[in-house]
């Protein structure tokens, strides 16, 4: 009985990876179920056992990726961003993330990821300062983090994950957040 969930998980992972490879060479609208299953080397029946159609697959994939990615970003103990864990994860999954996050290949996914980060930052900032409305400060911070991450993701010779994490912390804690007295030196 335990084989079915494992087999299903493997099939879903294969579909996810296949979709990422296809997304690097085609627009999301040009990719169909047949191409996804052929690239994943699984039967169409396996796809339809897991999903109703391509839209259902994309909804699952988006939710799964947002949860997985944001889970790496949100700190484990104090809910502060964990940039080191995030960049280590991103480095291991670099090609995969490039497919989903760069060159406007899947804007709905990028929007969903940014909205998740905005909610997290707004919760983190709630009542901590009164100089800038929390929603504006959260938008500023998330925009900066996302653009810095995308720059790293697009780079042919990316900096090490630890170095990128250090830059994020330095710009956040020693920059904007310190100027608002949210972190002291």
In terms of residue numbers, what domain contains 69? 53-179
> Taking the model in full, what pTM does it have?
0.72
Question: Is residue 184 in a domain?
Answer: no
CA distance 90 to 129: 31
The answer for residues whose C-beta is within 8 angstroms of residue 21's C-beta and 6 or more apart is: 39, 99
In a domain, 87, yes or no: yes
Q: pLDDT (tens digit, 9 = 90+) per residue, 5-48?
A: 456 788 999 999 999 999 989 989 999 999 999 999 999 999 99
Question: 81 pLDDT exceeds 90?
Answer: no
Claim to verify: residue 15 and residue 87 sit in the same structural domain: no
Answer whether residue 185 is part of any domain: no
Q: Please report whether residue 107 resides in a domain.
A: yes
φ and ψ at 52, to 5 degrees? -75, -40
Does one domain contain both 123 and 168?
Answer: yes
CATH no. for residue 90?
1.10.357
């Amino acid at each position: 009985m335990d084989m079915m969930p494992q087999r299903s998980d493997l099939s879903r992972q294969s579909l996810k990876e296949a979709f990422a490879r296809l997304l690097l060479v085609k627009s999301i609208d040009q990719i169909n179920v047949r191409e996804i299953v052929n690239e994943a080397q699984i039967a169409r029946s396996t796809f339809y056992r897991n999903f109703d159609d391509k839209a259902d697959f994309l909804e699952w994939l988006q939710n799964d990726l947002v949860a997985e990615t944001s889970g790496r970003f949100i700190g484990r103990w104090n809910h502060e961003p964990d940039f080191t864990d995030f960049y280590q994860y991103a480095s291991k999954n670099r090609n995969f993330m490039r497919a989903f996050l760069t060159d406007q290949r899947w804007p709905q996914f990028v929007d969903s990821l940014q909205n998740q980060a905005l909610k997290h930052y707004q919760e983190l900032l709630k009542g901590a300062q009164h100089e800038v409305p929390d929603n504006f400060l959260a938008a500023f911070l998330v925009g900066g983090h996302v653009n810095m991450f995308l720059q790293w993701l697009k780079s042919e010779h990316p900096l090490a994950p630890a170095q990128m994490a250090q830059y994020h912390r330095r710009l956040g804690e020693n920059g904007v957040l310190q100027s608002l007295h949210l972190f002291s030196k």
